[in-house]
Amino acid sequence: MSLVCPQCGSDKIRSGTLHAHDGVRHLLLHTPLRCRDCRHRFWVFNPFKPLLLLVGVGALVGFTAWFALDHQAALPAAQAPASLPHARAVQGDAEAQLQLGIRYAEGDGVIQNDKEAAKWFALAAKQGLAEAQYQYGLVLLQGRGVVQDYKAAFSWIEKPAQRGYAKAQYSLGELYRYGTGTAIDKARAYLWFNLAASQGVEAAAKARDSLVWQLKPEQIAAMQEEARRMSHTASSTVSPPTPAASPDTP
């Protein structure tokens, strides 16, 4: 069908040019034309433009779907470290139980839950994992997710301390120093501070030195001798292992 100008009826029509102000509907669905006689500019529907639009939208949707599927395919591998500890923890892996407890305690990748944290710390602690025993002792000491129990806290913190775990040694010194879960014993506090200080715990060194003036010389000498003996016989199974040096004499 031949095109005629809607204004003058002339069939002398040529293609028009697009302008930014023509509007989206015209740009997407119509073609501009201009009459050679009267110079009138008008629009006619272009059936090819909707087809091109559909092809473009289809290509965009297809690319988006492909990208999403490809991302989901890669997601399990990326999330494996986050989901794996729970599966291993349920199967009884002590290290995974410890990591899961830490995640619940800190809200790392899960909703923070002190009760869940305490549960996983307890399971790992009962398998002899030093860090788990220490963490479980702390939650008992602070009453986070469990009923506060100073004596039980002392017992659990003492276990890794005796095996050479520096953080537990420092905490055990604090318990002896203030009589938490046990009787006050400044000499034993000095002993544990000394052991922790020998592994680089600065707070333990300061705490140890603050007790020097509260103890008799013979008490200090006895605790230093016991610290030397214990540092040489500490279990090498504590993780992470830290070489024990001879305690400094203040």
pLDDT in tens, the chain (250 residues): 567 777 776 777 777 676 666 666 666 667 777 777 777 776 676 776 677 777 777 778 777 777 766 655 554 444 444 456 788 999 999 999 999 999 999 999 899 999 999 999 999 999 999 999 999 999 999 999 999 999 999 999 999 999 999 999 999 999 999 999 999 999 999 999 999 999 999 999 999 999 999 999 999 999 999 999 998 876 444 444 444 344 454 4
Is 0.85 topped by the overall pTM?
A: no
Output the pLDDT for position 92: 92
- Determine contact, residues 58/44, Cβ cutoff 8 Å: no
Q: Domain extents for the chain?
A: 97-233
Radius of gyration of the chain (CA): 38
Output the pLDDT for position 239: 44
**What would the pLDDT profile of 123-174 be if each residue is shown by its tens digit?**
999 999 999 999 999 999 999 999 999 999 999 999 999 999 999 999 999 9
Respond yes or no on whether the N-terminal peptide bond of residue 47 is cis (omega within 30° of 0): no
Output the pLDDT for position 101: 95
CATH of segment(s) 97-233: 1.25.40.10
